[in-house]
Amino acid sequence: MLKRTYAVSRPEQAAVRRLGSLARLTEHDLHKIEQAAADAHFLPARTEIVREGAEPAKPTLLLRGWVAQQRILPDGRRQIAGFTLAGELFGRNWSCQERALTSQVALDDIVLCAAPEAQPGSGLFEAYERERLAQRLQLIDNITRLGRMDARERVCDLLLELLERLQRSGEAEGNTFAMPLTQECFADALGLTPVHLNRTLQACRRSGDLSWRSGKVTLHDPIGLARSLGRRSNRL
């Protein structure tokens, strides 16, 4: 109860935790984050923040909710290339980028603000660099999932990644986290059909790997699961 109030009154909490876990932040850095978060914007679920091919978003800090990077093929197939979670960054990373490589879509009701500028050499700057590196790692992990894992492995591997990221920004409670995604979205991230994902999830539940009820996911033994998948963690 108290905790919830605290979180609401400090919308930048997840971002501070995440960036602080990537690099040592000074008081000055923290102040800049707080200042940026003071000018936050709310967007409802399903908002398309950026459309693929259009002007890319400026560097943005996601304070609350989840955002997906997605592509739509001409015949309507959708692929989600990655997620941005509360506390993480998205948006243009390179000065020369003229067009967004993917659409950015709010999967949830979200709150975001402009990412504060960082001077080279500052802790914040280093955190941004590590964040970009983490994004690259996630893309490569996704390629490995889609290319060489079967449905059960894809489901577990992605849930492990999400748990790890949410723990880093303090958004998980133990091995449980709030899952705002619809099964259809999750399937589009995993390259599966909603129907097949549904059956795969049931198999995972029956084998005791996870539970997913009323928007909460619990991984019952993340460490053992990661080992059985051959997934290495914390590789930054």
Instruction: Report which of 104, 199, 212 is spatially closest to residue 152, judged by C-alpha positions.
Output: 199
Residue range at the interface with DNA (CB under 7 A); choices 48-56, 112-120, 200-208, 225-233 = 200-208
Q: What is the Cα–Cα distance from 61 to 40, expressed in whole angstroms? A: 9
Residue 207 within binding range of DNA, rule CB under 7 A: no
176 or 198: CB nearest DNA: 198
Q: Is 172 helix (H, G, I), strand (E, B) or coil?
A: strand
Residue 29: Cβ within 10 Å count: 23
Minimal distance in Å, beta carbon 147 to DNA? 9
Amino acid at 236: L
Q: Which residues inside 104-163 make contact with DNA, applying CB under 7 A?
A: 150-152
Q: With beta carbons less than 8 A apart as the criterion, state whether 12 and 39 touch.
A: no
Q: What is the Cα–Cα distance from 68 to 148, expressed in whole angstroms? A: 22
Q: Which residues inside 95-134 make contact with a copy of itself, applying CB under 8 A?
A: 95-99, 101-102, 126, 129-130, 132-133
Please list the residues that pair with 72 across neighbouring strands.
78
Residue range at the interface with DNA (CB under 7 A); choices 51-59, 80-88, 133-141, 198-206 = 198-206
Binding site for a copy of itself (CB under 8 A): 23, 53, 69, 71, 73-75, 77-79, 81, 93-99, 101-102, 126, 129-130, 132-133, 136-137, 139-140, 142-144, 146-148, 188-191, 230, 232, 235-236
